[in-house]
Amino acid sequence: MRPTTRLLTARLPAFSPTGITGVLTHPHPRPALIALYNHTLSVLSSLPSHSVYRQSAENLTRARLEILKSVKPAGWNDYLATRRQNGLQGDVDITDVAVYMRAQLQTLVDRTTFSGNVAYAKQEMEHWRAFAVPESHDTRKLPQNTADPLVKDLLADAEHNEELQRLMRQEETEIDLEPQLTAEQVMEIEEKIGEGLLEEVIEEGWGELQCAETMRDDKVWEPLEVVPEEGQWVGFERQIATP
């Protein structure tokens, strides 16, 4: 089901209701998904090439990545030319997307009193927390008494909150993400992928990444430590009675 409001606007504002409980409109879905899929492919590449899981997951991820890259926002060529002038090649780095997203999510927390939106923001923040902030960003100036400099409630000293907010706003404007998609382009991608709203596809992407990391960490391709006895996993079968 696609919310009617998405069909009647050029592009819904970030964090507007999507029509699905607990899911808000993503502020920048295309670069977020591309960065997520590229990172997933990087994790999958650490699995053996003969792994059936790796082969199937790579095929799915690459297919969706191609769909995303086939739909380019207006102003894409100018954006790409600017990146090349700055010596940047390829897709935007996932750490840049993480800085952008965490700043956006913190802004949502600061401007809302609705507990559902706060819960959504903190849940999404958890996804991006694992990605380090590049040294090129001003978060290196933040107090050293925080495990994650972009999560306000982790600050031990409340007097630094104002400085934290200032630096986060500065970071958000410095991140060079691509132009926004139109509503029509979002719908085109959704139809090609066929898994519901892009926001749902993004959540599915996080699940795929977590699964790939678990498979890598558990080394599921290695032989079992305890080899099962012959016939242990054979189900009970009806046998012909003997006279």
Q: How confident is the model over 74-111, as pLDDT tens digits?
A: 999 999 998 888 888 888 889 889 989 988 998 898 88
Q: Measured between alpha carbons, how far is residue 92 from residues 52, 81, 83, 125, 203 in Å?
A: 29, 13, 9, 19, 20
Tens-digit pLDDT profile for residues 44-56: 999 999 999 999 9
The CA-to-CA distance between both ends of the chain, in Å, stands at 61
pTM, full prediction = 0.76
Give yes or no for residue 151 having a pLDDT over 50. Answer: no
Strand partners, 24: 17
d(CA 125, CA 122): 5
What pLDDT, on a 0 to 100 scale, did the predictor assign at position 25? 94
Give the C-alpha separation, 6 to 12, whole Å: 6
Residue 239, pLDDT score: 66
Q: What is the mean pLDDT of the chain?
A: 80
Higher pLDDT, 136 or 87: 87
Whole-number pLDDT of residue 204: 96
Q: Which residue has the tokens 């507990």?
A: 115
Which comes out higher in pLDDT, residue 243 or 27? 27
* Unique residue bearing structure tokens 């749902």: 200
- Where are the domains positioned within the chain? 13-218
- Residue 225 is predicted with a pLDDT of 86
3-state secondary structure (DSSP) of residue 71: coil
* Residue 219 or residue 156, greater confidence: 219
Residue 85: other Cβ atoms inside 10 A? 8
